[in-house]
Structure 1
Amino acid sequence: MIDGIYTLANDVVYDQLVALLNSIEANAGKNIPICVIPYNEQLDKVKAEIATRENVTLFADYASINYWDNFATQVWKNYPRAQKTWREWGLAELYRLPMHRKLCALDGNFDKFIYFDADTLLMSPIDYIYVKLNQYDWVTNDFQYKSELKYIFDGAPDLIKQVLPAEKLPSHIFCAGWFAAKKQIFSADLLTTLLDKLQSGEADVMALGGPDQSLFNYMVLKSDIAYYNFAYDDYENTTGNHWISQFDVQDYVLYDKGRRLTYLHYMSIGASAFTKLCAGEDVDIPYRDVFLHYRYLKSPEQRPQKFIRPNMLIQMQNLTSSFIQQKINNIKLNYRNFKNKVIQ
């Protein structure tokens, strides 16, 4: 039995990927196998980084990549509301299609795995996650269930009741940026059945701001696999994980009211902010010193020694870009800004 970690990356998130890999080594051990699933073929920096790490590999099963690309394409290409809405938002016809490649983890070498988005930092050992996978097929650790259901499923209420098991809503919904599961828990027959149901109208329950997340939730809910969420089933002992929360910092590890975080998620902060910061631009990122610590843990000599504010023209360009992005976020119902959680 092989346990491991997957993430999804390309050169756009290079700085975040390095920080994540270093945080895993520092807080969980340097021998944990890690596999990077390619977001696309923009991978020169990623491949160079992987070559320096004995425990890190690049996912290269293109039969699996093509399968999940095709699976997601069939779901969304045949969903008129999605196509119409994304056009109105000025987005790609198959919005965020490569994000569905996270599902390649189900076909990889790890019998039990934990998936991390590249915009996360590991804060503690993770043995207990693998132990929980001895009892459950899919494990999460977030407070998505405290948000409105519309961020995952925004179809008509009657259709949601018809399509989804009411007894599992909202307790079984989750953020797709971090989850743990077992290899090949969805059979080929089940996947065929799910795709048929989605193409027959059930896709209309799904929210469109984060299509990969909505689809993963649908698959888990409809498959009847054993599901566990630390933040729901063990609420009193579970920490927050979203950057907007107020955490204590001790030796570059975050704590929530004395409890060590499992991971920190920088969800909704664009990759460009981290790239600019690592280029020496004075960018305001929550827990900035923590991120920089892990980003340059193995190369402290490369860490910027000072940070410079851009000139007025660049600042105006950045503000304009930020304004446009914020408008898109508002159109999408502020999809990715709802995970503030404070332990009571």
Structure 2
Amino acid sequence: MIDGIYILANDVVYDQLVALLNSIEANAGRKIPICILPYNQRLDKVKAEIASRDNVSLFEDSDSIAYWDNFATQIWKNYPRAQRTWREWGFSELYELPMHRKFCAVDGPFDRFIYFDADTLLMGPVDYVYEQLDTSDWVVNDFQYKSDLKFIFDGSPEQMQQIFNSEKLQDKVFCAGWFATKKNIFPPAIRADLMGKLISGEADVMAFLAPDQSLFNYMVLRSGISYYNFAFHDCEQATGNHWSSKFDVVDNILFDQGRKLTYLHYMSVSSSAFVRLCGGEDVDIPYRDVFLYYRYLKSPEKRPQSFTRPSQITLLQKSTSSFIQQRVNNIKLKYRNFKDKINGY
């Protein structure tokens, strides 16, 4: 039985990847093999980093990558409402397609594995997660179930009841940035069955702000595999993990009311902010010193010793970029508030 960790990455998130790898090495409690799933071909820095670590490899199964790229393409291209909405938002017709390469993990070398988005930091041992996989097929540890269900599924109540046959669907959704499961959890027959159902119209229940997340939730719930969420089933002992929460810091480990976090997730913080910070710019990132500690754990001499404020021209450029991002956010907000109008109902 081989336990492992997968991370989706490329050179754009290199600084975050190094910090995550160092945090795993420092806090996992044992040496765990790690495999990097390629977001795309921008991998020069990633490959150099892999070469410096004897427990890290690159996922190179081109057949699996092609399969899951095609799997996601077929689903989203046959989902007219998503296509129409993405066009209205100015996005590509296959919005965030490379994020679906997370699915390649089920074809990889590890019998049991934990998947990490690159924008996370490990804070403590994860043996308890692997142990839970002895009795559960899919394991998560997050509070997505307390958020609006429309971030995951936004079909009509009648549609969702017919498809999932669950009165408590809200309690079962999860964030796809961190999860644990097993090799071949979706065998070919189940993949084909789910693909057929999605293309025949069931895709219409999925939200499309984070398409891979919606698809993961659909496949887990629709396939009927056993599911466990520490943050739901053991909520009294569960800790937060989102950067917006207030945590205590002790020796570069985060604690939530005295309990050590399993991981910190920088979800929605731009990767460019980390690049600028590591370049010596004075960027305000939550738990900045903790991130910098892990980023430069193996190369402390390279850590910026001082930070400078950007020039007025740079600030203006960033202000323009922020304005554009705000427009995108407004579009997403409009989608949530006026779903019926966007759907054409």
What range describes the TM-score normalised by the shorter chain of this pair? over 0.9
AA aligned to 1:203 is: A
Shift of 1:235: 0.3
Letter in 2 for 1:242: H
Shift of 1:118: 0.1
Retained in 1: the 8 A contact 2:161–2:167? no
The 10-residue stretch of structure 1 (53-62 or 167-176) with the greater mean CA deviation from structure 2: 167-176
What is the CA distance between 1:168 and its match in structure 2? 4.7
Q: Distance in 2 between matches of 1:116 and 1:330?
A: 28
Shift of 1:327: 2.1
Letter in 1 for 2:52: T
Structure 2 match to 1:305: 305
Task: Name the counterpart of 2:340.
Answer: none
Mapped partners of 2:29, 2:53: distance in 1: 13
SS of corresponding position for 2:254? strand
Name the structure 1 match of 2:38: 38
Once the two structures are superposed, the pairs formed by residues 30-179 of structure 1 within 5 Å of their partners are 31-179=31-179
TM score, norm. by length of structure 1: 0.96
Whole-angstrom distance in 2 between the partners of 1:178 and 1:129: 11
Q: Write the letter of the residue equivalent to 1:145.
A: Y
Corresponding residue SS for 2:333: coil
Amino acid at match of 2:155: G
Q: Which runs of 4+ in 1 moved over 3 A?
A: none
Alignment of 1:242-261 (within 5 A): 242-261=242-261
Q: Which amino acid aligns with 1:180?
A: A
Distance, in Å, in 2 between the alignment partners of 1:329 and 1:208 is: 14
Q: Which residue of 1 aligns with 2:223?
A: 223
Offset, 1:188:
0.8
- Supply the distance in 2 between the matched residues of 1:30 and 1:133 (Cα, whole angstroms): 18
> For 2:236, what is the secondary structure of its paired residue?
helix
Kindly provide the CA deviation profile for residues 137-160 of structure 1, in whole angstroms up to 9, marking residues without a partner as x. 000000011111100001222211
Q: Which deviates more from structure 2 when the two are superposed, residues 108-117 or residues 157-166?
A: 157-166
Determine the C-alpha separation between the residues in 1 that align with 2:24 and 2:322: 31
Aligned partners of 1:93, 1:157: CA distance in 2, in Å? 27
- SS at 2:113 equivalent: strand
User: Is residue 198 from structure 1 mapped to residue 165 from structure 2 by the alignment?
Assistant: no
- Partners of 2:219 and 2:200 lie apart in 1 by 15
Give the Cα–Cα distance (whole angstroms) in 1 for the partners of residues 210 and 122 of structure 2.
23
Letter in 1 for 2:175: C
1:242-289 alpha-carbon deviations (Å, 9 max, x no partner): 000000000000000000000000000010000000000110000000
Q: Secondary structure at the match of 1:235?
A: coil
State the one-letter code of the partner of 1:25.
E
Tell whether the 8 Å contact from 1:17 to 1:119 is kept in structure 2 after alignment: yes
1:29: how far off?
4.1
Deviations 1:80-125 (A, max 9, x none): 1111111111111100000000011100000000000000000001
Deviation string 1:163-186 (CA, Å, 9 cap, x unpaired) is 223145112110000000011011
- Three-state SS of the structure 2 residue aligned to 1:36 is strand
Q: Quote the residue 2:209 is aligned against.
A: 209
Q: What is the aligned length?
A: 336
Q: Retained in 1: the 8 A contact 2:29–2:124?
A: no
**For residues 168 and 193 of structure 1, do their structure 2 counterparts lie closer, same or farther at Cα, with a shift above 3 Å needed?**
farther
CA distance in 1, matches of 2:187, 2:25: 33
Cα distance in structure 2, aligned partners of 1:330 and 1:181: 35
Distance 1:48 1:153 in 2: 39
Computed over aligned residues only, the root mean square deviation of the Cα atoms, in angstroms, reads 1.3
When normalised by structure 2's length, the TM-score is 0.95
Higher mean displacement: 165-174 or 214-223: 165-174
Tell me the distance in 1 between the aligned counterparts of 2:334 and 2:206: 16
Gap regions ≥5 residues in structure 1: 336-344
Deviation at 1:326, TM superposition (A): 2.4
Query: Could you tell me whether the CA contact under 8 Å between 1:4 and 1:34 is conserved in 2?
Result: yes
SS in 2 for 1:332: helix
State the AA in 1 paired with 2:69: D
